[in-house]
Amino acid sequence: MDFTYSAENLRFRDELRQWLSDNLPIGWGVTVHEPKDEDERARFRLGWERQLFDGGWSGLDWPTQYGGRGATLIEQAIFSEEMARAGAPDGLNIIGRNLVGPTLMRHGTEAQRQRYLPKILSTDEVWCQGFSEPNAGSDLASINCRAERDGDHFVVNGQKVWTSFAQYSQWCILLVRTDRSLPKHQGISFMLVDMRSPGVTVRPLRQISGESEFNETFFEDVRVPAENIVGELNGGWKIAQTTLAAERGPGDAMARQIRFKRELDDLIVAAATLKRGSTSAIDDPVLRQKIAKSIVEIEIMRLSCLRSLSKLLKGSAPGAAASMLKLYWSHAAQGLYETALETLGFLAPLTDGDSLAPAEGRFQLGFLQSRAFTIYSGSSEIQRNIIAERMLGLPR
Amino acid sequence: MDFTYSAENLRFRDELRQWLSDNLPIGWGVTVHEPKDEDERARFRLGWERQLFDGGWSGLDWPTQYGGRGATLIEQAIFSEEMARAGAPDGLNIIGRNLVGPTLMRHGTEAQRQRYLPKILSTDEVWCQGFSEPNAGSDLASINCRAERDGDHFVVNGQKVWTSFAQYSQWCILLVRTDRSLPKHQGISFMLVDMRSPGVTVRPLRQISGESEFNETFFEDVRVPAENIVGELNGGWKIAQTTLAAERGPGDAMARQIRFKRELDDLIVAAATLKRGSTSAIDDPVLRQKIAKSIVEIEIMRLSCLRSLSKLLKGSAPGAAASMLKLYWSHAAQGLYETALETLGFLAPLTDGDSLAPAEGRFQLGFLQSRAFTIYSGSSEIQRNIIAERMLGLPR
Amino acid sequence: MDFDFSDQQYLFRETFHGFLEQNHDLKKHAALLEGDGFDADLWWGLADLGLFSMLVPEQFGGLGLSFVDMALVLEELGMELVGAPASETIVATDLIVRHGSEKQQARLLPLLAAGKLRVATAIAEPKSGFGDLNIQAQAASNSNGWRLNGHKIMVPHAVMADLIMVAARIGPSQELGLVMLEPQRKGVVLREQSTLDPACRFYAMTLDSVAVDVEDFLGGAVPQPTSLARLLDVSSAVAALQLTGIAGKVLDIAVAYAAQRVQFGKPIGSFQAIKHKCADMAVAIDAARSAAYYGAWAIAEDAVDRVKAVSMAKSFCGDTARQVCNEGIQIHGGMGFTWELGLHWYLRRAKVLEFSHGDAAFHRERVMAATLAELQRQE
Amino acid sequence: MDFDFSDQQYLFRETFHGFLEQNHDLKKHAALLEGDGFDADLWWGLADLGLFSMLVPEQFGGLGLSFVDMALVLEELGMELVGAPASETIVATDLIVRHGSEKQQARLLPLLAAGKLRVATAIAEPKSGFGDLNIQAQAASNSNGWRLNGHKIMVPHAVMADLIMVAARIGPSQELGLVMLEPQRKGVVLREQSTLDPACRFYAMTLDSVAVDVEDFLGGAVPQPTSLARLLDVSSAVAALQLTGIAGKVLDIAVAYAAQRVQFGKPIGSFQAIKHKCADMAVAIDAARSAAYYGAWAIAEDAVDRVKAVSMAKSFCGDTARQVCNEGIQIHGGMGFTWELGLHWYLRRAKVLEFSHGDAAFHRERVMAATLAELQRQE
């Protein structure tokens, strides 16, 4: 166990700090913020991600041969800390970096890796994920979207839903049914689909937050080269498990922790500013308890990511541990946003656009977004099943 | 809707107050408390219950022909309030009054009612309840204790568990299997068993609180007259539902509410006394929130009892509503005791017998006892099933 | 003693329920985001059913009913997301009945009974917090008469209101009271505010030396030092009923969804995870009803435990609505957080109500203080 | 960076685990309620395995290990309900290593390493509350030398201790420090106290003009103004690890029970109600471990964020143990609240630890204060 920074670590940190101060827009987080418009914001985030890549800060833990930095765990931790400290924006190609990368590294052919991985980090190709369907949510293995062989191609027909960022994506990891005669878990294949193919239609789904990050995506006679199957034909369920574990695992959680930590810091600043008569919200002992609870929970999220990554580095398998992490952070983060609104108190109903809305209404937006945390990437109910059955060994 | 007291109500209240001040031991609740020894306490409570009966205050809502008072709902509410106010002790024959009474009034023959009911209120006969078995807890319908016909008697063999107050009881309401060939819910009978019969053995079970209110009770060739069957042979399951609804219903809850309200008042007094350096616990805003939450929850328990009783008076059926009440109060009361320990703070580990233990350690005892609230009378899990299926109509 | 409603009261609810079911739904609700946000058809429909005349004494053309008679109706309005200015007009009616001068009653109550007067209330200020402690708005008199100055925020539907009831300190004693004025008066500037629930239509209101008259003070020349406290309590009691209505509605929607949504070959409502969530929601809502109805009674009777009863209701019903809205979305899975399905409308309204007129922590502190005072009285 | 234990550290835990499994169980634990409550066999067995020498530097006959090396072992001790005086002796060892004078170290550390010195700590007073703010015990000097006066409570196993480490204000500056004395000294009166966990063996201690010497002050003549703060932090860190151990154990017991207890023709562990409870417990325990282990590291390194790390751990692990003990009993149904099954021993110990060295609210307030200070430093 070691949390100390070596001289080399400190150099890494200083280099990153310098780079951030050179590259973040002047006034970032104070006078300059992300664009409000969703499309503009997507472009902004993609641009920022490109900057990170150009600076050598993208794919920190990826092998250098695929464009990554091959950083150590401590460097990853420092990176998270500094990004939080600087209030740095998120990237856009999250699915590419966090899900497609680990999946192809584990299950892809060397040709597939060389073709796809570098363009993920360089932001040349943004990815989305076509897993869920209207009738296959928690029960993912009952997907209906089908792919039928036609020479050296597959022809895909069906509908996916909750395909985040599909409107900005060039590629999609798609779960399809390739054999209806097999039991439901065994007839599924995992393929890479070019979103620019004829027959692909994306229809944005507006969310409760008012944003449209998610989409419905329709596939009508979409032709996909057979070489775009990852792993074995009909062997897609196992591969999807790798993707899901990555989606729920410490890499993803670590990136989110940065964001929550930033929100928490902003919340504390807001609480210090918010006056209730002669006192500040931050002096209210009842609120302090709630905020402190969130501080503890979000800090533990970071620690658990580090513990999980430390174990992964030593070769322990991901899996149910990823479900534990996801279940933990999703509820901790929901608690954070509830606390944020309580901190705003009587001003909580005022949102972005109003001059009196504290922190420009970002906590209200975050609150609305947070309702989805316990639903996407596998609902809390599904995670609890996985933990109880696979980890604790309770009977089905 | 009407919560106002008429002149008649106020007379009733004053009469009761006067009676309490005449009949409670001098110094009650201040210098005089219940005996610590369990057997002595049982005798004390039975004596108190007898006093209540002699004063005409027992079986407030029972018809006068069975020894009750036939009081109105508002009188029952006033009674609860005044008993709480006076910190009056509990009685002992709770099962007799709260469970056996309502069950026999609904399902017993007139002969059974006349034989058993008056002796319940007069405390001449204390009752216990033989429902659960080691392998039939939540799954009550799978009971194994069997009764076989032998002339004009039944012969009972088997074991019951959690039979509260069995050691002080003359009679037992017993669920037995009378026909193994029928589906499990249909082969059960409900009988009245004299605990003094040969073949009945009671073995106290020590609880986590250190007390032995519960018992294991063994029946070995116990002969029970056939006339002691309540309702139809093999029709016991339906009758048991009446008992269970009574166990979970507003009558039982109202009596408990008195106790919790008393505890809460004592807790507030304790909090005002407890010094932490120069301030009192009661001035801690964080604790005030927790105590206030319990005040609200325990007060709502009273209101919900009144609402439930008001509806019952108009002829609405008990049932799933009783499960709602039980689920509500059991968790509210557990919360109260958790809060009580938090209020004691660093002194929470000190218990009865220590001169520094706040309120003579009663909150610690209450805390330990409270762990059983969500288990007995049907666990919270069972209540939730009942509410979801019978009340909300969700599929099995 | 009776803690149930009368057949008549249940019938009243049924009437409103039937009307709202036929005349209002989430689609119409969403359409109110356009334009001035006021549904005149709905307003007049409710007025025709007698909504605004319920609290008005018969001598002023009303039904002369009590706040208890309103309880189930307000729960229904909550359920269907009918909020201000209807609920605020009802609150204001109570205030005018209790604290208005004879002249004010004669002038305003007939209009209110007929639905011809829409009232908004203006309490909060940019730095006031909950309650009335830090209210700064002030009416002062000089040789030119009375002038009202101050900043109010979150005044619902202010531009559509005929009258705004403003909490302010009055005269040299700085006593808190209520001033009634038309939003058109000179010196009143309204600015629409962005809100979590855009249907609430909140406005910031600047009062810059607005000319007022003693007849604009609730109670006229006779000071009404308890009127603001009552306004806050009635508003809280109404919010508690609305929150209970919202919670009940969301549970109904969630149960219906769980009963028909199939995953793993079964309706998801057959899984204990969903079943038990629904049961817990049902229990919380039932308890919330006990609290909200008792709060209504305490308001109707101006009972000695009014403050405690109202604060119990507001804190518990707020917590319940929070739990139920959150879980209701959870049960719907991905569908739950789509804009289209509209569950967020309940969530938004519940959140705004949760943080209006004091949040749960604020009201719990009031319960604590009231309880300590009670215990002291008993000693 | 590495947030995992070494193979060696895991091996150490295995050794203690194996030993405790063979030499300790609930039956033996319950038997300790009789007599003096001290299990000498267990003590010497643990001593033989090196428990008390771990923190002692090699030059004093110890293993020279760090608090990180102790973390998993302390979790194991918690799991098996091995508490004071073992855990307190370990805490005291840390204090003597960090703050003892050379002379004190040379005298005490070899004895500690050999398991020949049992130490209890005496901090709380009848009106002190949590923390060190209100400590009144006082060592003052006059012409006859130093005298210690005060009242301490909840001193675990005081009569069996060779040495008691007493928190007191020292000298005219009233600076807080630690005084070490034998319970046999004249003027020390011990009275056993009733406790929620009778195995804790708490004593009230009256110090009536007890003669002490500068050499009894931790650090000797050199004041150690930070020693009491460290004592509180190390005690909290140890409690957090023990609480985590208890929670882990109760989950294991509950899962095993749920897997074999049949109702409705199925193991109850196959019902989602039980399954999901267990999953939530597992998640909480995993998070508690992250906090408790990091707390141990912060203690070992005396890190800049020591206070925050320890308070995070104590608050979160206390909450977790509470949840898990409660739910563990719930899962067992009626069996859960029998004395015989013994789940209550875990519940009792967890409750005592929860309210020792500051409860969750106390530590959350420390987290808040530390975070604000951090943010201010960053600005």
- The verdict on a CB contact (< 8 Å) between A208 and C124 is no
DSSP 8-class letter at D51 = G
Q: What is the dihedral of CA C168, C171, C172, C174, to 10 degrees?
A: -20
CA distance, residue C269 to nearest chain D CA (Å): 12
With respect to residue D173, please indicate whether it lies within any of the assigned structural domains. Answer: yes
Between CA A116 and CA A105 the distance in angstroms is 10
Sequence-distant (≥ 6) Cβ neighbours of residue B270 within 8 angstroms: B281, B343, B344, B358, B359, B363
Q: Give pLDDT, residue D32.
A: 87
Partners of A344 on chain C (C-beta within 8 Å) are 355
Number of domains in chain C: 3
> Is the confidence at residue C378, as pLDDT, over 90?
no
Buried residues in D11-31 as b, exposed as e (16+ CB within 10 A): ebbeebbebbeeebeeeebee
- Do D232 and D267 lie in one domain? The reply is yes
Compute the half-sphere exposure of residue A182: CA atoms within 13 Å on the CB side of its CA. Answer: 16
Q: Which pTM was predicted?
A: 0.96
Beta strands in chain B (DSSP E): 127-130, 146-150, 153-161, 171-177, 188-194, 200-204, 215-225, 229-230, 275-276, 279-280
Candidates D153, D195, D315: best to mutate against B (most CBs of B within 10 A) is D195
Q: Is the dihedral of CA C56, C62, C64, C65 positive or negative?
A: negative
**Full DSSP string of B246-301:** HHHSHHHHHHHHHHHHHHHHHHHHHHHH-EETTEEGGG-HHHHHHHHHHHHHHHHH
CA distance, residue C73 to nearest chain B CA (Å): 15
Q: Give pLDDT, residue A98.
A: 92
Q: Give pLDDT, residue D292.
A: 98
With respect to residue D197, please indicate whether it lies within any of the assigned structural domains. Answer: yes
Q: Which residue has the tokens 């005018």?
A: C96
Contact C73, C57 (CB under 8 A): no
**Residue B320 — pLDDT band, cuts 50, 70, 90?**
confident
What percentage of residues in chain D have a pLDDT greater than 70?
100
- Do D244 and D371 lie in one domain? The reply is yes
Sequence-distant (≥ 6) Cβ neighbours of residue C142 within 8 angstroms: none
For residue A324, which of B317, D290, B102, D239 has the smallest C-alpha distance?
D290
CA distance, residue B248 to nearest chain D CA (Å): 17
Partners of D268 on chain B (C-beta within 8 Å) are 138
The 10s digit of each residue's pLDDT in C321-354 is 999 999 999 999 999 999 999 999 999 999 999 9
Between CA A376 and CA C336 the distance in angstroms is 11
> Is the confidence at residue B307, as pLDDT, over 90?
yes
- CATH class of the domain whose range is B249-391: mainly alpha
- Do C178 and C294 lie in one domain? The reply is no
**Residue B388 — pLDDT band, cuts 50, 70, 90?**
very high
* Residues C272-295, mean pLDDT to the nearest whole number: 98
Q: Give pLDDT, residue A254.
A: 87
The SS3 of residue D37 is: coil
Q: Which residue has the tokens 């600043």?
A: A269
Partners of C367 on chain B (C-beta within 8 Å) are 292, 295-296
Interface of D with C in 234-273 (CB under 8 A): 271-273
Out of A133, A247, A263, A297, pick the active-site residue. A247
The 10s digit of each residue's pLDDT in C197-244 is 999 999 999 999 999 999 999 999 998 999 999 999 999 999 999 999
Q: Give pLDDT, residue B101.
A: 96
Size of interface A-C (CB pairs under 8 A): 130
Partners of B265 on chain C (C-beta within 8 Å) are 375
Domain(s) of CATH 1.20.140.10: residues in chain B: 249-391
Q: Which two tokens stand for residue B283?
A: 């001035």
- Do D67 and D35 lie in one domain? The reply is yes
Contact B354, D193 (CB under 8 A): yes
Choosing among 2.40.110.10, 1.10.4160.10, 3.30.565.10, 3.20.20.220, the CATH entry for B127-233 is 2.40.110.10
Q: Give pLDDT, residue A258.
A: 87
Partners of A387 on chain D (C-beta within 8 Å) are 278-279, 282-283
* Residues D124-132, mean pLDDT to the nearest whole number: 92
Sequence-distant (≥ 6) Cβ neighbours of residue C37 within 8 angstroms: C157, C160, C199, C201
**Full DSSP string of D69-92:** HHHHHHHHHHHTT--TTHHHHHHH
Beta strands in chain D (DSSP E): 119-122, 138-142, 145-156, 163-170, 175-181, 188-192, 202-212, 262-263, 266-267
Q: Give pLDDT, residue B258.
A: 87
First to last CA, chain A: 37
Q: Which residue has the tokens 């000294």?
A: D185
CA distance, residue B392 to nearest chain A CA (Å): 21
- Do C160 and C297 lie in one domain? The reply is no
- Do D242 and D363 lie in one domain? The reply is yes
- The verdict on a CB contact (< 8 Å) between C351 and A341 is yes
Domain(s) of CATH 2.40.110.10: residues in chain A: 127-233
CA distances from residue B159 to B146, B147, B375 in whole angstroms, order as listed:
9, 12, 20
Closest residue in D to A272 (Cα) is D372
Q: Give pLDDT, residue B53.
A: 95
> Is the confidence at residue D89, as pLDDT, over 80?
yes
- The verdict on a CB contact (< 8 Å) between B300 and C312 is yes
> Is the confidence at residue C379, as pLDDT, over 80?
no
Contact C72, C14 (CB under 8 A): no
* Residues A149-171, mean pLDDT to the nearest whole number: 95
Query: What's the one-letter identity of residue C126?
Result: P
> Is the confidence at residue B373, as pLDDT, over 90?
yes
Q: Give pLDDT, residue B313.
A: 82
Residue-number span of the structural domain to which C202 is assigned: 121-216
- Do C136 and C33 lie in one domain? The reply is no
Element spanning C120, H or E: strand C119-122
**Full DSSP string of D220-256:** TTS--TTHHHHHHHHHHHHHHHHHHHHHHHHHHHHHH
Contact B170, B195 (CB under 8 A): yes
- Do D235 and D361 lie in one domain? The reply is yes
What percentage of residues in chain C have a pLDDT greater than 90?
92
Least confident of A248-257, B158-167, D353-362: A248-257
Out of B247, B263, B338, B381, pick the active-site residue. B247
Q: Is A180 exposed, middle or buried (0-12, 13-18, 19+ CB in 10 A)?
A: exposed
Three-state secondary structure string covering chain A:
CECCCCHHHHHHHHHHHHHHHHHCCCCECCCECCCCCHHHHHHHHHHHHHHHHHCCCCCCCCCHHHCCCCCCHHHHHHHHHHHHHHCCCCCCCHHHHHHHHHHHHHHCCHHHHHHHHHHHHCCCCCEEEECCECCECCCHHHCCCEEEEECCEEEEEEEEECCCCHHHCCEEEEEEECCCCCCCCCCEEEEEEECCCCCEEEEEECECCCCCCEEEEEEEEEEEEHHHEECCCCEHHHHHHHHHHHHHCHHHHHHHHHHHHHHHHHHHHHHHHCEECCEEHHHCHHHHHHHHHHHHHHHHHHHHHHHHHHHHHCCCCCCHHHHHHHHHHHHHHHHHHHHHHHHHHHHCCECCCCCCCHHHHHHHHHHHHHCCCCCCCCCHHHHHHHHHHHHCCCCC
Interface of C with D in 269-308 (CB under 8 A): 271-273, 276
Three-state secondary structure string covering C167-205:
EEEECCCCEEEEEEECCCCCCEEEEECCECCHHHCEEEE
Superfamily of domain covering B7-92 = Acyl-CoA dehydrogenase/oxidase, N-terminal domain (1.10.540.10)
The 10s digit of each residue's pLDDT in C111-144 is 999 999 999 999 999 999 999 989 999 999 988 8
- The verdict on a CB contact (< 8 Å) between A394 and D301 is no
Gyration radius (Cα) of chain A, Å: 22
Q: Give pLDDT, residue A218.
A: 97
CATH number at residue C200: 2.40.110.10
Q: Give pLDDT, residue A178.
A: 97
**Residue B93 — pLDDT band, cuts 50, 70, 90?**
very high
Q: Which two tokens stand for residue B74?
A: 């508002």
CA distance, residue D322 to nearest chain B CA (Å): 10
Using the 3D structure, point to which of C98, C117, C136 is the last residue of a domain: C117
The 10s digit of each residue's pLDDT in B259-288 is 899 899 999 999 999 987 778 999 999 999
* Other Cβ atoms within 10 Å of C108 Cβ, number: 23
- The verdict on a CB contact (< 8 Å) between C258 and B269 is no
Q: Is B105 exposed, middle or buried (0-12, 13-18, 19+ CB in 10 A)?
A: middle
- Do D296 and D311 lie in one domain? The reply is yes
For residue A367, which of A347, A391, A342, A346 has the smallest C-alpha distance?
A342
> Is the confidence at residue B318, as pLDDT, over 80?
no
> Is the confidence at residue B161, as pLDDT, over 80?
yes
CA distance, residue D54 to nearest chain B CA (Å): 30
> Is the confidence at residue B356, as pLDDT, over 80?
yes
For residue B86, which of B131, B120, B52 has the smallest C-alpha distance?
B52
Size of interface B-D (CB pairs under 8 A): 130
Sequence-distant (≥ 6) Cβ neighbours of residue A354 within 8 angstroms: A361, C193, C194, C195, C204
- The verdict on a CB contact (< 8 Å) between A381 and C204 is no
What average pLDDT does chain A have?
94
Inter-helix orientation angle A250-273/D360-378, to 10°: 80
CATH number at residue C231: 1.20.140.10
Closest residue in B to D265 (Cα) is B139
The 10s digit of each residue's pLDDT in A373-392 is 999 999 999 999 999 999 99
The 10s digit of each residue's pLDDT in A310-359 is 998 888 777 788 999 999 999 999 999 999 999 999 999 999 889 999 99
What percentage of residues in chain A have a pLDDT greater than 70?
100
- Do D54 and D130 lie in one domain? The reply is no
CA distances from residue D92 to C64, D30, D44, D235 in whole angstroms, order as listed:
76, 27, 18, 9
CA distances from residue D240 to A306, B346, D319 in whole angstroms, order as listed:
20, 16, 10
Using the 3D structure, point to which of D84, D101, D117 is the last residue of a domain: D117
- Do D190 and D331 lie in one domain? The reply is no
Domain(s) of CATH 1.10.540.10: residues in chain A: 7-92
With respect to residue C28, please indicate whether it lies within any of the assigned structural domains. Answer: yes
Between CA C308 and CA C285 the distance in angstroms is 19
Partners of B289 on chain A (C-beta within 8 Å) are 286
Using the 3D structure, point to which of C165, C193, C216 is the last residue of a domain: C216
Q: Which residue has the tokens 């430093």?
A: D377
With respect to residue C221, please indicate whether it lies within any of the assigned structural domains. Answer: no
Q: Which two tokens stand for residue C222?
A: 């006779």
What percentage of residues in chain B have a pLDDT greater than 70?
100
A338: annotated active-site residue: no
Partners of B293 on chain A (C-beta within 8 Å) are none
With respect to residue C212, please indicate whether it lies within any of the assigned structural domains. Answer: yes
- The verdict on a CB contact (< 8 Å) between A345 and C197 is no
Element spanning C138, H or E: strand C138-142
- Which long-range CB contacts under 8 A does A313-317 form with residues at least 24 apart? A313/A73, A314/D4
* Residues C23-39, mean pLDDT to the nearest whole number: 90
- Do D112 and D253 lie in one domain? The reply is no
> Is the confidence at residue A33, as pLDDT, over 90?
no
DSSP 8-class letter at C340 = T
- The verdict on a CB contact (< 8 Å) between D279 and A328 is no
* Residues A220-233, mean pLDDT to the nearest whole number: 97
Between CA D88 and CA D236 the distance in angstroms is 11
For residue C71, which of C302, C293, C320 has the smallest C-alpha distance?
C293
The 10s digit of each residue's pLDDT in A274-310 is 987 778 999 999 999 999 999 999 999 999 999 998 9
Between CA B344 and CA D363 the distance in angstroms is 16
